[in-house]
Amino acid sequence: MDELELGAREVCATLREAGFRALFAGGCVRDRLLGETPKDYDIATDALPEQVAACFPKTFTVGAAFGVVLVVHGALRYEVATFRKDGPYLDGRRPTRVDFVDEIEDARRRDFTINALFYDPETERVLDYVDGAKDLEKKLIRCVGEPADRFSEDHLRLLRAIRFAARMGFALESATRNSIAAHAGEIIKTSAERIRDELIRMLTEGHAFASLELLDDTGLLFHVLPEITAMKGVEQPPEFHPEGDVFVHTLLLMKHLKGPCSTTLALGALLHDVGKPATQTFEDRIRFSQHDKVGAEMARKICRRLRFSNEETDQITWHVAQHMRLAALPKMKESKRKRFIRHEGFGELLEICRLDCLASFGNLDTINWISDYMATVPEEAMRPERLLDGRALIAMGYSPGPKFKPFFRKLEDGQLDGSITTRESAEKLARDYFGSTE
């Protein structure tokens, strides 16, 4: 038993000692039945929020209107929620009110049966009021009650169903799947931030391919990422892309993406060819001239629409803009090559291009050359210490001015290329560049 579970049991024991019922609830019960270690424990109780707060020395109210109290237990924190039944949903996210009820009614207001299980740590029994355990055995994602009701209450559940199915390798129960397809357009009523967070989980946890397939099959992909569905039917030159059109290629690439991975890697991989539909031409062969530049601008707009941070947006956009440059890297001038490689996002870019190759013709010669090169070049050669600085130039008799900056660039070029290795050679470059001080 790990520390997290032990703490959860102790919180439940404290509530029981005060005369209340306390159970593990939701995902932690599901994960335990699947043989996985829960990452957190939620606790459900018949104690009212103020009664929960009175049982512990340190608590925070995180959702008083919904009966949720955050209990601080040593270095750990647990959400303790009062059994509740939700009132009408008018905004597709939150109920207008909640009524405190028993555990059976609480189970019936939850999203999916596999998330509506309880576990009594005192009796060591699973309490299942919605056949969630059976659905776990059948590997099914099924809504509790009428699917249309669950999805109208919180539209984000449309995406959550996809994420759970992809993550666990489960199928969508037929009525649940049909309801997702019927209500797919309602997902746009959900805030961009909530959609973004669900997409990030789908793409970074290691199940991107399955997630995208399910999103597409249910019609959700068209509403959350129409730029990806626009790739369908956009043919590519078979000599470079024997796998098929841009959509097929992108899905295959995401199939090779391993998780967990960073958001910027996942989105850079997904969007690397987003500019191809807009740039396709038919000349001597199918071409996509400047699809990297067009795609970068499209990627920036997508990131802004989904409210990614400026830092993430810049990195994702850089990946899309630069992904075609790697093919030329072995022939680049040494200084240009080293500057490219030492960019903070280069490691992810290299991985995106590796996946790109695996999802097309499969030739990794250039990727392997770059990896070998990076392994043999020491850090001091990649980022050499400057042989001359501003003070040294002034000491040589040169006045500070706008020419200093391009000189330092030229000096670094020489150091990166290996043509300038000593202070003496750097000073000679300065005299040649600025002229005599006499």
- How confident is residue 67, by pLDDT bands cut at 50, 70 and 90? confident
In a domain, residue 167? The reply is no
Per-residue pLDDT of 257-285, as tens digits, reads: 999 999 999 999 999 999 999 999 998 89
pLDDT, the chain, mean: 94
The number of distinct structural domains making up the chain is: 3
Both 310 and 270 in a single domain?
yes
Both 348 and 395 in a single domain?
no
Residues 68, 72, 77, 83, CA torsion sign: negative
* Domain end (from 119, 138, 157): 138
The answer, yes or no, to whether residue 34 has pLDDT greater than 60, is yes
The answer, yes or no, to whether residue 92 has pLDDT greater than 60, is no
In a domain, residue 213? The reply is no
Both 410 and 367 in a single domain?
no
The answer, yes or no, to whether residue 93 has pLDDT greater than 70, is no
Q: What is the mean pLDDT of residues 288-317?
A: 98
* Domain end (from 117, 138, 159): 138
pLDDT confidence of residue 101: 87
CATH code assigned at 42:
3.30.460.10
pLDDT confidence of residue 436: 73
In a domain, residue 237? The reply is no
pLDDT confidence of residue 207: 97
pLDDT confidence of residue 69: 95
Q: What is the mean pLDDT of residues 26-41?
A: 96
In a domain, residue 413? The reply is yes
Both 419 and 317 in a single domain?
no
Both 297 and 406 in a single domain?
no
Residue 149 near residue 88, CB atoms below 8 Å: no
Both 129 and 54 in a single domain?
yes
Both 291 and 424 in a single domain?
no
Residue 141 near residue 176, CB atoms below 8 Å: yes
pLDDT confidence of residue 85: 84
In a domain, residue 300? The reply is yes
In a domain, residue 55? The reply is yes
Both 279 and 396 in a single domain?
no
The answer, yes or no, to whether residue 90 has pLDDT greater than 60, is no
Domain that holds residue 394: 384-434
Residues 310, 313, 317, 318, CA torsion sign: positive
Both 64 and 34 in a single domain?
yes
The answer, yes or no, to whether residue 64 has pLDDT greater than 80, is no
Looking from the CA of 362 toward its CB, the CA atoms found within 13 Å total 2
Both 19 and 117 in a single domain?
yes
Per-residue pLDDT of 356-410, as tens digits, reads: 999 998 999 999 999 999 999 999 999 999 999 999 999 999 999 999 999 999 9
In a domain, residue 171? The reply is no
Both 324 and 404 in a single domain?
no
The answer, yes or no, to whether residue 229 has pLDDT greater than 80, is yes
* Domain end (from 358, 379, 400): 379
Per-residue pLDDT of 102-144, as tens digits, reads: 999 999 999 999 999 999 999 999 999 999 999 999 999 999 9
The dihedral over CA atoms of 199, 108, 53, 79, expressed in degrees to the nearest 10, equals -30
Q: What is the mean pLDDT of residues 48-61?
A: 94
Both 336 and 409 in a single domain?
no
Nearest to 136 by CA among 30, 239, 224, 236: 30
In a domain, residue 158? The reply is no
